[in-house]
Structure 1
Amino acid sequence: MSQWRVTAEHPLRQVEGLDHERCAALHNLIVERGWTASGRSLSDLDRRSWWECYGGDAQLAPHAAKLSPTVIAFLKAAWHGYVMTAQPQHAFFRYLAGLCSPEDLWQNTNYGDDEDDSNKRRYVTLYMANWALGASHPLGLVFDQQTSTAIQHISIHDTSVTMNGRQIWLPLELILEGFLDMIDQGKALAVDSSYDGEQERIDPWIMPSYTACDLDETLEAFGRLKRAIETRMPGAPSNEPRRLRDAAESSTLSPNSFAGRFLERAPEIRFDYIAPGLRIARQQPFSSVNVDQSHIRPVLLFESSQEAHQDTERTPWGAEVVISPFSPSFRDISNYPAGLYLTETDPHGAHPFEDGCKLILPYAIGENGWARTSDGALFGENRHAQGPTANPVPRSTDLYQLGFNHFIEIHDVQLKHVLSHWADMVEKGKWAVDADGVAGGIEKWREADTEDHWQDYQLPMSW
């Protein structure tokens, strides 16, 4: 199967239409991985294809007339029988229940009211969203037969974003490869009937709030950043050692939480600035807020000496209201340091990411129209608006964020990606280093909204 995985050694192939061989192989591998991990025998796996399950050429002729040859080839090779026969039921993946029925292939909202039926063959809802995740009006994964690209729609309400003319759709094999990467890393985990943990199970899938791989890769990225700074300092570091675990002494962290384990194991540093204008935090502004026992508060990791900027938006009646980067539980605290926070989460919720983080600046950026999130959207743009212009609004919290997630439900960017990117910036000489650590001060982040540097501050899309 290794030849079908999308890797540097086996990149995307240039084919006409959908790469049906590769996509069917990846689809079937996801089914197989989930099936065996949930304690079932491969000898019991119903490997009938979607095409077989719905009657073959004779029964499917009306649908075949609207499907491209490569989509038909995919449906003739992708396993679907297990969906029909498995007891208990077996979802294809955490976010997708399975391939759609023939009738549901055309049930999507990607068409304008003025379009006639002749054009309503372009978009195919290949996979149905997993209704158990609680999305309002779930839809699924939609494939564009004209461009041979796809995008997730957890809900039909996502359509105004995905169809705004600016969102970039992806080859289906990249999305399926993303799912397999989540399985490889343990972020999407199939479990057997003996599972009695607190994570919500959508048979057979659970989503751990963080994985051993997440923790190890975050520690590796922090260690790499530390070494990159120290080797470029003009002299040997002379400051007293500073430890990340000191940042959370005033907060209550479970030793088994991502924050607790990361802060405890992170190596000490002997310089001040880990990134422009940011040093190890010496306070926890939200530690006194009462929250639901199952939720984890925001944790300030690296702080600025300046307060966080308060973003606002205009209401329909003309008033300016503050947009908090945190949930309502924390909105009574309006003054807190700018810096990098692990954001709050419910570890047992539907979309838990204990390692999600947010960089909050002491000023808003984006007014120049260069700063972008991973999905290519401008900071503060109206994602639901159609057309080439987006009228961006400067924001202080969008830097490094993913925007519309092409793989799963939206979440804050994982800490490991930010720390790894910071290490890149130092190693490539895009951030200077002086005797105090990373130089440039807090104003350095304004580069993210300039023509020459915005790409240096945009992370690639990830799940």
Structure 2
Amino acid sequence: MDSSTSTFSPERCANLHNQLLAKATEHSPDVQIEQTLSARFLDIAPEFTEVPSLDDLPLYRFLRLVNTTPPASNGGVDLLTPFTYQPDPRTFWTDRVSHEPSFVLLYGQNNGDSPIDGGIYVDILSYQAVWHSGNSPRFPPSDQWLPLEVILQKSLDAWTTGKFYWDAQEATIKVRNWTQHDVEQSIAAFHRLISSIELRMPSDENQVHSHHRLEPLDSQILEPFKISTFAVRFLSTANRPDFPFVAPGIRVFTPLLLDEIYGVEVPDSIRRTHWLGDEEDWPTLILPGVDSVPHNVDQSTNQNINAFDQNWGFGKFTVNRQSGLYIAPDTSNSDLVRLVASSGLCSACEFRSPCRWGPPRDPRLAEVFDHWTSLVEDGTWAVDANGVSTGHDWFTIHTSVAKIAPVV
């Protein structure tokens, strides 16, 4: 076996798959579990029976070991996770990958589109895997693929943290928009960012500069404003630093600043009357910038800036065009973020490349804070007594550095 396949263990991956199936079916006492996937595979691709030492082929070994529920009368398969179906040999090879015969669609997607339009692909030459969506014509480069074991483990972790759960009313497995684990991750990452800034603050040679943390915002002062439930939990739980700037031109809310920004927002603003995810998932400013976005950004030659006020732009979801870090949820995640620079640029905190282990999404709050911490620690951002002293225009000038590399 060459070095590329030595990291793939059919046994470990099958074990993770079977744990996922057990989670997906534990509330269905009459469910039938079987190990027939390898036989179904050979029915679809009988030419593999001619492969010498077929039992030693890693893909076939995996298929022999995994559990599934029986296909429906029309051949359809059940869900394995809220995002993916169980393996279906009928869709292993599709028109989309006919030019890439080594790519197998092992787990078709469950996102309202056809399962064959995307999901988790496995390259049976390297035995690396990646989530690839049908709306992208090209597969990610090989260095962005991951071990299948890593992707399956992340799905199992989602059960552990409560992100995946059984909805008894709808009798299906679903995704929670946010969990206490998500809040704790975000708070821990925010506190690491604060600590990294404090460690780099100047101090008098004869005096050690000490810092203290301010109390979180009182949830009662957040009540008058349309603030997402996740954002309320974060803002009312995270301790604040005793300095204002935690990123270039990005401040921490004080009660006074909160009222100055949110208090003048009109009740029927688009932000307050629309939600991006589920109900009560309004776009929410959690760390305000120093300036508002001017009204002439539609004249910019930078498409990422002049899009601010377009129909598809994010400008209508801001608080009176205020720059800063926003919670911008989707239908599955309440802790996704969008950074609005005062230039009107809204792409500075996007991923540099698509998420490789699940459906496409924006970065989570904890992921942004972790990236910002690295920019403080490696000296990219300057620090003074007021916190990060690098100018706010850094996000517009150095957008490529501001973007986040997906970390497994």
- TM-score between the two structures when normalised by the length of structure 1: 0.68
Q: How many Å separate the matches in 1 of 2:69 and 2:34? A: 6
CA deviation after TM superposition for structure 1 residue 234, in Å: 3.5
What amino acid does structure 2 have at the position aligned with 1:267?
Answer: N
Q: Secondary structure at the match of 1:98?
A: coil
Q: Show the 5 A alignment for 1:13-24.
A: 15-16=5-6, 18-24=8-14
Matched, 1:109 2:96: yes
| Structure 2 CA distance for partners of 1:59 and 1:334, relative to 1, 3 Å | closer
1:296 equivalent among 267, 281, 287: 281
Q: Secondary structure at the match of 1:173?
A: helix
Q: Show the 5 A alignment for 1:91-102.
A: 91-101=79-89
CA deviation after TM superposition for structure 1 residue 266, in Å: 1.8
| Structure 2 CA distance for partners of 1:326 and 1:77, relative to 1, 3 Å | farther
1:162 equivalent among 139, 143, 166: 139
| Structure 2 CA distance for partners of 1:459 and 1:99, relative to 1, 3 Å | same
Q: Which residue of 2 aligns with 1:265?
A: 237
Q: Which residue of 1 aligns with 2:362?
A: 412
Q: How many Å separate the matches in 1 of 2:238 and 2:397? A: 29
Matched, 1:151 2:130: yes
1:339 equivalent among 317, 321, 324: 324
Q: How many Å separate the matches in 2 of 1:206 and 1:226? A: 35
Matched, 1:78 2:78: no
Q: Show the 5 A alignment for 1:337-376.
A: 337-345=322-330, 351-363=331-343
Q: Which residue of 2 aligns with 1:376?
A: none
CA deviation after TM superposition for structure 1 residue 440, in Å: 1.6
Q: How many Å separate the matches in 1 of 2:4 and 2:37? A: 25
Q: Which residue of 2 aligns with 1:440?
A: 390
Q: Show the 5 A alignment for 1:127-206.
A: 127-130=107-110, 133-135=111-113, 138-139=116-117, 140-154=119-133, 156-158=134-136, 160-162=137-139, 168-191=144-167, 195-196=168-169, 204-206=172-174
CA deviation after TM superposition for structure 1 residue 73, in Å: 1.2
Q: Which residue of 2 aligns with 1:253?
A: 227
What amino acid does structure 1 have at the position aligned with 2:359?
Answer: E
What amino acid does structure 1 have at the position aligned with 2:9?
Answer: D
CA deviation after TM superposition for structure 1 residue 331, in Å: 3.0
Matched, 1:211 2:179: yes
Q: Secondary structure at the match of 1:209?
A: coil
Q: How many Å separate the matches in 2 of 1:171 and 1:251? A: 44
Q: Which residue of 1 aligns with 2:206?
A: none
Q: How many Å separate the matches in 1 of 2:44 and 2:115? A: 29
Q: Secondary structure at the match of 2:96?
A: coil
Contact 2:5 2:125 in 1 (8 A): no
Between Structure 1 and Structure 2, the one with more helix by share is 2
Q: Which residue of 2 aligns with 1:8?
A: none
CA deviation after TM superposition for structure 1 residue 232, in Å: 4.1
RMSD, matched Cα: 4.0
What amino acid does structure 2 have at the position aligned with 1:274?
Answer: V
- Give a deviation string over 1:165-208, Cα, whole Å, max 9, x none: 588332222221221222222212234xxx23xxxx5x531111
Q: Show the 5 A alignment for 1:22-37.
A: 22-36=12-26
Q: How many Å separate the matches in 1 of 2:44 and 2:213? A: 75
Q: How many Å separate the matches in 2 of 1:219 and 1:306? A: 25
Paired-residue identity, %: 22
Q: How many Å separate the matches in 1 of 2:300 and 2:88? A: 39
Q: How many Å separate the matches in 1 of 2:334 and 2:154? A: 19
Contact 2:84 2:109 in 1 (8 A): yes
Matched, 1:460 2:406: yes
Q: Secondary structure at the match of 1:15?
A: coil
Q: How many Å separate the matches in 2 of 1:129 and 1:35? A: 18
- Give a deviation string over 1:282-331, Cα, whole Å, max 9, x none: 314867325247252211122222334858999xxx9x962559967963
Q: How many Å separate the matches in 1 of 2:299 and 2:11? A: 49
Q: How many Å separate the matches in 2 of 1:291 and 1:214? A: 25
- Give a deviation string over 1:141-188, Cα, whole Å, max 9, x none: 22222332222245x333x1426x588332222221221222222212
Matched, 1:126 2:100: no
| Structure 2 CA distance for partners of 1:35 and 1:173, relative to 1, 3 Å | same
- TM-score between the two structures when normalised by the length of structure 2: 0.76
Q: How many Å separate the matches in 2 of 1:110 and 1:313? A: 40
| Structure 2 CA distance for partners of 1:286 and 1:134, relative to 1, 3 Å | farther
Contact 1:279 1:302 in 2 (8 A): yes
Q: How many Å separate the matches in 1 of 2:383 and 2:19? A: 46
CA deviation after TM superposition for structure 1 residue 104, in Å: 2.5
